[in-house]
Amino acid sequence: MLLALLLCYGGFTALCLSMDRHHTELLGRKPSVRRRQGMRIHGWLLLALSLWAAVSATGWGLGLVQWFAVLMLSGLLLVLLMPYHPRLMLSLAGVSLLASPVFAFAQC
d(CA 85, CA 93): 13
Neighbours of 89 (CB within 10 A): 21
Q: Give pLDDT tens digits for 50-99.
A: 999 999 989 999 999 999 999 999 999 999 999 999 899 999 999 999 99
pTM: 0.92
Q: Give pLDDT tens digits for 69-82.
A: 999 999 999 999 99
Q: Are 96 and 10 in contact (CB under 8 A)?
A: yes
